[in-house]
Structure 1
């Protein structure tokens, strides 16, 4: 059978792994600089933990795991499986008999589950970061995979809007170090609720936000068509027409909203919160060009209750490379109330594609071996290994070509592998206590004393 990859997944070469580690190391360093602590959760959760948290469309993209029907305490697993399968055939069919587990869809809901299970042991506000893969049964396309990594930072146990301000700083500092120019789009879920109330479609809030969230993909006409299909009247749509004609002045747009939200308590609350975050971010030196109030930003996840973030690369067509928001009620579904939270996510895979497209990876992002020692056989090989051990103790990568092969073959191996230097420790070098090495990038070869080589 010809081997193949499952659709929406990828293998990563050594160069790709090294570059991904480069991104992760920068994010992890900044997470910890901002006071976040690491956490890991299982790859799969109970299906009931995940369903109902992401909206109708999100729930459809959850990868469900087929029950094995194996009693792990039995030794004869194959026989037991066949017996259990026969019993299942004799029972009335139900979805629960097929699956009650699923691969995690994101890192936020498993985190909320963790907080609910451990809230008595945690110190609040509790700040955690998490860098792990997630899975979505989505249609694969550029920048969208079925298995991909998320890099999340969340704070729970605080309603302070300073958390939003700090997360804006975290985004900007991280992308500045990655040398990716970005714009952070920001909105507030309360504003969306206020818009629904203003248009008289409060009972259609989810339908409204799901359609609005697709504006970048399907345009105004597509959104209007979908709103009509979701039984939202033309009259209500006409009242919302101003959404598609926003100016570039965030504060001017907020002022326009204040006028429309007169007497609309939830809408005005959203405007007030957003004004605070934008104003304080500007006070801290954030360029207004980097922080944009996007009134049509909805992010179709049902659990958001306040601020909503989405990050887009300025110089590449890639959709969002980060996003997040406030979710003050998420732990309530797990029986724990009054644990407000907010979090953001960095899309590792899309960030990688942007940096690759823009040629932003530095040379040090590749983990190439510094020295390859040519293998001459006999005593020379033994002495070469002793020298390799000393280099490794100094934190310098080195390896020995495994066979005593023709030197041209060893040269070819070093060049193909991207090794920087080929080292010759032959009979002459051993006699004179020297080392000869050739820099394969510059094409220069020189002989130095053993002491000089080890201290260079």
Structure 2
């Protein structure tokens, strides 16, 4: 077998034991806060049906979905699928079929002839093996719908002849699978349903600092309640979890999609709300000039942009911004409703005290996902140059896409991988994070190993993480092992220890050691 250079796909990573200990520290900290607020954990499959995911994230999001190639005989039958398609096209063209709905002018005939030539060229490349399956699939995006004549008109079996060889995809996020879960399990769950989920997701994005193709999300969502208390508590969850992780300066940005819709209405572009939100969501990346250029390309006039500028560049306190917004949106009921919802969330927070977070009303916050309909959140640390480390929002009818109408929900997500990078850069991980074993038993020979076995079992039965180094190694090697694994204590057992019953107990951090009975050692380690 030929040797293969070991590697991982771009945008993915291996995690060492030390890294996993730190990641679990993040997960456990966030999970404890979720549970504190009444959220229960679920999990969903790595793969979802492609139809579940497509159309939920906008055009840009859909392009980043990792599609999974169907397995089994389907791929081996690609040649047959193409042969059938080519046969139909050739029958349309070469036999010069003239049905009533087939245009006869030369321009249309040439159009169909060109399509046939295109596919015949692809088939030649496929047969000659000068094109890969992936390239073939990518290039084969013309279906029989492009032809006026249908397969039935030609006396051919009516079935879809295009190459739909991907029916599944990797999770893009955890929210849409959660909506699908709620619909499938609606008779088993109690409303409002508060769930959290910690699992990896995949996006076919360009890898860069803080952005990976495979990364974990930590989500919390509540469905079946339209109370703004949920949004208010999510601010508290962000504040408490990130404070517990050691962050001292971070901003929770909040906006409302109804406000953005109201802005689009006021400038007379209600049908272009998606174009508007996608553009202004990039303000911190491409600047005002970049946003204006993108809006111009989408059909927004200079007059539209002059109306937008004061809103996009809104300044002042949260209260002052709301006053200005109400004036700007006085002719939009949708926009004013969004202002009411923001004020409702702030009203709850008059009764709460935040630890470290700053809450900021940011009108440029858009979050490009199509399913948000109300409040939207984004969290950024001010201590490290990093993208958002969390975000979320209200979605009024996401489950409606799966047949369950009118079920409102709201949720947030922690970007665990980015949070990891932030904690690493700020050196905020506790020194004890990497301590998976609390005590190592070292012995000089086989007799010491045998003597240690019952004591090892006793330590573990008391819930003390313990290891026994196998007999035969020099004592220095055993102690180096303890140091390398950051094990804080060792117990050395030799002939003197076995005879006296007093074991050598050493603190590896201070270097202090003393002779103690097994019972006394258990007491110290149990503290």
Query: What TM-score do you get using the length of structure 1 for normalisation?
Result: 0.94
> Residue 24 of structure 1: CA displacement?
1.1
Question: Cα–Cα, structure 1 residues 51 and 382, in superposed 2: closer, same or farther, change >3 Å?
Answer: same
Question: Cα–Cα, structure 1 residues 236 and 28, in superposed 2: closer, same or farther, change >3 Å?
Answer: same
Question: Cα–Cα, structure 1 residues 436 and 19, in superposed 2: closer, same or farther, change >3 Å?
Answer: same
1:146 alignment counterpart: 213
How far apart, CA to CA, are the structure 2 residues paired with 1:288 and 1:3?
44
Instruction: Give ranges in structure 2 of 5+ residues lacking alignment.
Output: 86-139, 142-161
How far apart, CA to CA, are the structure 2 residues paired with 1:327 and 1:367?
42
2:61 alignment counterpart: 58
Q: CA-to-partner distance for each residue in 1:408-432, whole Å, 9 max, x for gaps?
A: 2222222222222232111001110
1:367 alignment counterpart: 435
* Equivalent residue in structure 2 for 1:125, among 168, 192, 198: 192
Pick which of 29-38 and 104-113 moved more.
29-38
1:192 alignment counterpart: 260
Please say if residues 217 and 414 of structure 2, whose CA atoms lie closer than 8 Å, have aligned partners that are also in contact. yes
Does 2:5 correspond to 1:2? Answer: yes
Query: What TM-score do you get using the length of structure 2 for normalisation?
Result: 0.82
> Residue 149 of structure 1: CA displacement?
0.6
1:75 alignment counterpart: none
Does 2:40 correspond to 1:47? Answer: no
> Residue 447 of structure 1: CA displacement?
1.6
Once the two structures are superposed, the pairs formed by residues 336-375 of structure 1 within 5 Å of their partners are: 336-375=404-443
Once the two structures are superposed, the pairs formed by residues 213-232 of structure 1 within 5 Å of their partners are: 213-232=281-300
1:280 alignment counterpart: 348
How far apart, CA to CA, are the structure 1 residues paired with 2:393 and 2:84?
44
1:88 alignment counterpart: 81
Please say if residues 168 and 281 of structure 1, whose CA atoms lie closer than 8 Å, have aligned partners that are also in contact. no
Q: How many residues align?
A: 446
SS in 1 for 2:389: strand
> Residue 85 of structure 1: CA displacement?
4.2
Q: CA-to-partner distance for each residue in 1:330-383, whole Å, 9 max, x for gaps?
A: 111112111011001111111111111111111232233222222322321111
Please say if residues 22 and 365 of structure 1, whose CA atoms lie closer than 8 Å, have aligned partners that are also in contact. yes
Q: CA-to-partner distance for each residue in 1:71-103, whole Å, 9 max, x for gaps?
A: 8xxxxxxxxx64x34433434356652211100
SS in 2 for 1:292: strand
How far apart, CA to CA, are the structure 1 residues paired with 2:326 and 2:357?
22
Q: CA-to-partner distance for each residue in 1:79-136, whole Å, 9 max, x for gaps?
A: xx64x34433434356652211100100000111111222233221111111111000
1:101 alignment counterpart: 168
How far apart, CA to CA, are the structure 2 residues paired with 1:380 and 1:163?
59
How far apart, CA to CA, are the structure 2 residues paired with 1:352 and 1:98?
37
SS in 2 for 1:311: strand
How far apart, CA to CA, are the structure 1 residues paired with 2:464 and 2:73?
49
1:134 alignment counterpart: 201
C-alpha root-mean-square deviation of aligned residues, in Å? 1.7
SS in 1 for 2:81: helix
Instruction: Give ranges in structure 1 of 5+ residues lacking alignment.
Output: 72-80
Question: Cα–Cα, structure 1 residues 413 and 354, in superposed 2: closer, same or farther, change >3 Å?
Answer: same
Max Rg structure = 2
Pick which of 290-299 and 356-365 moved more.
356-365
Question: Cα–Cα, structure 1 residues 288 and 434, in superposed 2: closer, same or farther, change >3 Å?
Answer: closer
2:390 alignment counterpart: 322
Q: CA-to-partner distance for each residue in 1:20-45, whole Å, 9 max, x for gaps?
A: 11111121111111111111111111
> Residue 449 of structure 1: CA displacement?
2.4
